[in-house]
Chains A and B, each alone.
Chain A
């Protein structure tokens, strides 16, 4: 064996900064010194500003659009309407049912009718006011049930029912010894990412294409929709990811992309646009508000036997991803529990409310709130501890969903529950600090504060479902001893770039990893959603790196006349049958290696008419325990602590995983106690951070975390997605804790059934539904 390494040290150890370490973000330095460029920070010489003219009515016929006064305003370069859309005047992630600009009819308050480009933002705003739209106001459809029962005329050519799905499994006539039922309501939540929508579009020199810098979750899907609307080939639309200030599902749909691209083509100049906070609230999709009825059947010992459910999701005016959100909701109706019988109906409907689509948790948040409230009712009806009831029914690998799908993944549900409940409880409050009182500073409590504890558990699907070929692409280049990674994966703050860097180091044994621009010059990465990028784009980076590793080992085998089969990369070394031969950095010097990989997850299927089929790719599980202090008289509450054990497979970066968990908990807490978009007669009432509240640092309790690491053999590197699971069961856990406090205070016996909890829900006794034992 030839060994020619100049290095004297021959110890094979893991490379520093590889997989499993709490590596710091590569973009972090720029983010703390203010130099990181978000999409709203980009300006181009000669740019125009753009603004959107929007409908003030939830439903109205457009009789006339007069742009003449706006066009005549000095400084205005163009005013465009539906007449100016050269391609298809329709976009959407699943159905192209939403117009770029409304034609004939507007269907929600805030629907775009026209857009203006002018020399500066002020002129844009003045021109927008000069666009005269004559409307005939129509009766809006605002009651989701009326969209189902067919008593309303269609408010859209595609009809008022976006999708209905039924699930029937086992014995549909089964009647349990113990039956509990209830009706639950989930309010409309906003993603409330801090970095508002912003983009810059630059026309090509020949005026036939456009380059767009935009903060988005899925560059290639944006490109497909933009090109269709512009009526150009996809190759003429180039997208580059602008710095993204959070996403959480709210950037998966088109917002301003087509408007600025079209204005750039029409004016032949760069066009820049940025939403205000109030425009953002009406300019992107939201979490579906839901009304859910459930009836659970169990044996007297608490064994869950049957779930019946009816879901109604209000999708608002356009379809967006409503049909996929619905499938997530109905297929997760049983929760992380064995259940052989089910009858479930789900409806996603069209109304004249704000459109709804993706938000972190994607239908499962709604389902989990209902099934976990039901499990608490069932525990009470069986006179069992809620934890024992859940442990008794906890799903395991090999159990089946109500769709008939077998859960193939690692499924440590019982372990998540046990580890959550074993985490330390907070000490009783001893100090009289105002921050420790429900309501905080400025509000009084007379000493009647009562502490409650509650818990909940969730199952969440990972990646896309229903037969969608969901893939990701990555390219790995090794040149001069450095690694360069290229992918179109949207880094939205979650830290994929950190993970990609760690993977490259571990796979290649090289420390220096650079990133090429995140854009459409490489194949699609799919969306940064559905907890999928660590698995999917992580899988693509693994395969791209392993392709290069093969080339490196071929090179070493040739150069050194070694048996190729015995060669591997371990740590920073190329080894032959486990013996270090040469450092990778030395072996690659003077060579160029390149490999592009596409990662596909296993195929899924569509559901049949009875809701049966292997429609999901993988699952992750989480348990939460909440401790709350409640002032029953004032209806105020404070969340004191959240404890959680999460099935992460393997923590590729523990610091990032903790960040996802704490951040997800905050969003689930927000839904539980404060966050709701209020619409009255189709008009949003709280489109600002003054009126739509998200948790502040003073609202957030300590989060105590246990990472359940059982590497999933089906996942690249064993790691499950960790983005969505933290925000799901925390909401019903908090509500269960409030119920517990109110029971202790002797104030309420019927469970709380809606989120967010409002002061009146606590302070005024409400009617819940009943439990019946025997039948």
Chain B
């Protein structure tokens, strides 16, 4: 079997990555982790159920395990490694302070998803937070501290815009 090789350029956290030797159907998650050396995004289900792999593509939260790398060539990608510089350092801090982090495996995807949620809706209600993060599984925390971290961040941003 002859392997079809493709190449593309990804802009990840503002840095261009030239990717060659792409496997057909290679996921953005695999490319980020195994080629770009960005292992902050996690894989835990490989089918878009758990949200651990969430990244921003042109500002929109997507499951990178379901996104083909070839399909996002040339687009701007933000991962957990770049989300702080992209303006979510307060959200990261709020996760830590609220006790929203235990094992931390879901945390990168949740922070990216919560950042996208707050970009869409700067004053979410509790139900809107629950609706907005329903695609991100956490097995340790029971989610209570996560809701608090997101609401705290929204409230802080309103006070100190």
Contact = CB atoms under 8 A, between A and B. Distances in A.
A33 B81 contact: yes
Given A194-B137, A277-B45, A492-B103, A24 B143 contact: no
A766 interface: no
A38 B46 contact: no
A689 interface: yes
B141 to A, nearest CB: 5
Nearest to B33: A41
Contact of B103 (A35, A246, A690): A246
A559 to B, nearest CB: 41
Interface stretch (A62-70, A94-102, A651-659): A651-659
A494 interface: yes
B79 interface: yes
B136 to A, nearest CB: 7
Given A33-B80, A35-B40, A122-B23, A663 B131 contact: no
B144 A703 contact: yes
A355 interface: no
Interface string A643-678: 000000000000110110111111100000000000
Nearest to B30: A121
Given A34-B40, A689-B45, A656 B104 contact: no
A433 B127 contact: yes
Interface stretch (B68-76, B94-102, B151-159): B94-102
Give the interface centre of B41, B101, B141, B146 by most chain A CB atoms within 10 Å. B101
B45 to A, nearest CB: 4
Contacts of B103: 193-195, 244-246, 492-493
Contacts, number: 168
The dominant DSSP class at the B interface is loop
A663 B102 contact: yes
Contacts of B133: 697
Interface string B95-130: 111010111111110010000000000000001011
B48 to A, nearest CB: 9
Contacts of A703: 142, 144
B102 A697 contact: no
Nearest to A29: B96
Contacts of A37: 39
A691 B131 CA distance: 20
B101 A697 contact: no
A489 to B, nearest CB: 15
Given A28-B96, A34-B79, A697 B134 contact: yes
Contact of A688 (B49, B95, B99, B104): B49
A31 B104 contact: yes
A700 B127 contact: no
A276 interface: yes
Given A659-B141, A663-B141, A697-B136, A38 B42 contact: yes
B107 A31 contact: yes
Nearest to B91: A32
B2 interface: no
Give the interface centre of B44, B47, B138, B141 by most chain A CB atoms within 10 Å. B44
Interface string B52-94: 1000000000000000000000000001110010000000110
Nearest to B97: A24
A192 interface: yes
B140 interface: yes
A443 interface: no
A32 B96 contact: yes
Contacts of B39: 34, 37, 41
A694 B143 contact: no
B142 A245 contact: no
Interface string A439-462: 001000000000000000000000
A34 B46 contact: no
B49 to A, nearest CB: 4
A495 B45 contact: no
Contacts of A33: 40, 80-81, 84, 92
Contacts of A122: 23
A662 B49 contact: no
A688 B137 CA distance: 13
B47 A194 contact: no
B75 to A, nearest CB: 20
B96 A697 contact: no
Contacts of B10: none
A360 B80 CA distance: 30
Interface in A335-357: none
Contacts of A433: 127
A689 B79 CA distance: 23
Contact of A246 (B33, B93, B99, B140): B140
Contacts of A697: 129-130, 133-134, 136, 138, 143, 146-147
Interface string A265-283: 0000000000011000000
A32 B92 contact: yes
Contact of B104 (A196, A493, A658, A696): A493
Contacts of A205: none
Contact of A656 (B33, B99, B131): B99
Nearest to B104: A31
Given A246-B140, A688-B47, A36 B96 contact: no
Contacts of B97: 24
Nearest to A688: B47
B146 A194 contact: no
Contact of B95 (A32, A244, A276, A277): A32
A698 interface: yes
A663 B140 contact: yes
B127 to A, nearest CB: 5
Contacts of A665: 142
Interface in A683-738: 688-690, 694-698, 700, 702-703
A573 interface: no
Interface in A428-442: 433, 435-436, 441
A32 B46 contact: no
A248 interface: yes
Nearest to A30: B104
B101 A435 contact: no
A143 interface: no
A194 B105 contact: yes
Contacts of A164: none
A195 B105 contact: yes
A666 B49 CA distance: 18
A664 B143 CA distance: 11
B125 to A, nearest CB: 9
A27 interface: yes
Nearest to A433: B127
Contacts of A743: none
Contacts of B137: 194, 689, 694, 696
B50 interface: yes
A195 B45 contact: no
B47 A690 contact: yes
Given A34-B80, A195-B103, A703-B144, A277 B44 contact: yes
B142 A32 contact: no
A222 to B, nearest CB: 19
Contacts of B23: 122
A192 B139 contact: yes
A207 to B, nearest CB: 28
Interface in A35-69: 35-38, 40-41
Contacts of A415: none
A495 B102 contact: yes
A695 B136 CA distance: 10
A221 B133 CA distance: 38
Interface of A: 22, 24-25, 27-29, 31-38, 40-41, 122, 191-196, 243-246, 248, 276-277, 433, 435-436, 441, 492-495, 655-656, 658-659, 661-667, 688-690, 694-698, 700, 702-703
6 contacts: A28-B101, A656-B99, A659-B102, A695-B143, A697-B134, A697-B136
Top 5 closest pairs, chain A to chain B, by CB = A34-B40, A493-B103, A31-B104, A662-B142, A245-B105
Given A37-B39, A193-B105, 4 more contacts: A33-B84, A35-B81, A662-B141, A667-B139
